[in-house]
Homo-oligomer: A and B are copies of this chain.
């Protein structure tokens, strides 16, 4: 008798009319929290995949890109980051990268949904591994409130949010960037994940304008993340003092990373024309 396994595929509509589809070996976890639905699936192509509210957050195979790239450009621009905040980022990947810096004394994780942290510890041990480090302070709390309550405290703040729907909407708005400005020390620097230059053009324009109106230095860069919409992702930096384009690359920290390299640091800001036009005051 022939035995056949059920052929399971996970399909995510990344826009109304386009998406990815990927083969599932098995489903590992499904839950609902106060904030969102959580799923972990074992895929054939990308290993374990974390899905929140039906959107891919991270996978074993390509997580290194997102976590290195949200972390090292800002961290390596700041000459001496001691206190660092991650807003969101409950999977722990950004924390893992932050802890590579010997100057870091405290890394605070303000994640609103404790279930994300628990699921990551269980199903993504390589990503969440740093969360048990004694320098890490995990706060299951609203990141907006945390930022509001900690003025002048941080050297670097990373906004490692979900998509701008549901609980994360406020993380893409100007009042939040203004409160981040206040939560940073006088030479502090922030970075936010800011979606796809192909599919979220209005959002990127608005965020870049809002951060430009808040910080004296604003920069945008991109990275290749195959499981994210369009495969191209953007990050926006706001900085009070240090310009990522003014660093001496020869003096940057070098780690055993798989995407970020010091030699890439400045080149990241040379943008394709269709991305650069998002940063022009008048837009297209």
Q: Which residues of B contact A230 (CB under 8 A)?
A: 224, 226, 231
Q: Which residues of B contact A122 (CB under 8 A)?
A: none
Q: Which residues of B contact A261 (CB under 8 A)?
A: 270, 272-273, 276
CB distance from A265 to the nearest CB of B (A): 9
Q: Assuming the A-B contacts A224-B232, A230-B224, A257-B273, are A21 and B11 also in contact, with contact meaning beta carbons closer than 8 angstroms in the complex?
A: yes
CB distance from A256 to the nearest CB of B (A): 9
A-B contact pairs, 23 of them (CB 8 A): A16-B23, A16-B44, A17-B44, A17-B45, A18-B22, A18-B46, A19-B21, A20-B20, A20-B21, A21-B21, A64-B274, A65-B272, A198-B224, A198-B226, A226-B230, A231-B232, A258-B273, A258-B274, A259-B273, A259-B274, A261-B273, A261-B276, A264-B272
Evaluate contact between B276 and A271: CB separation under 8 angstroms.
no
CB distance from A140 to the nearest CB of B (A): 33
- C-alpha gap A44/B224 in the complex (Å): 24
Which residue of chain B has the shortest Cβ distance to A256 in the bound complex? Answer: B273
**A222 on the B face (CB < 8 A):** yes
Evaluate contact between B17 and A19: CB separation under 8 angstroms.
no
> Which of A43, A231, A267 has the largest number of chain B CB atoms within 10 A?
A231
B-facing residues in A4-18 (Cβ within 8 Å): 11, 15-18
- C-alpha gap A108/B150 in the complex (Å): 65
Copies in the assembly, this chain: 2
**A132 on the B face (CB < 8 A):** no
Q: Which residues of B contact A43 (CB under 8 A)?
A: 17-18
CB distance from A62 to the nearest CB of B (A): 8
**A202 on the B face (CB < 8 A):** no
**A124 on the B face (CB < 8 A):** no
- C-alpha gap A27/B19 in the complex (Å): 19
Q: Which residues of B contact A15 (CB under 8 A)?
A: 45
Q: Which residues of B contact A222 (CB under 8 A)?
A: 224
List 19 extra interface pairs beyond A224-B224, A264-B271, A267-B267, CB under 8 A: A15-B45, A16-B23, A17-B23, A17-B44, A18-B23, A18-B44, A21-B21, A224-B230, A224-B231, A226-B230, A226-B232, A230-B231, A231-B232, A259-B272, A259-B274, A260-B272, A263-B270, A264-B270, A267-B270
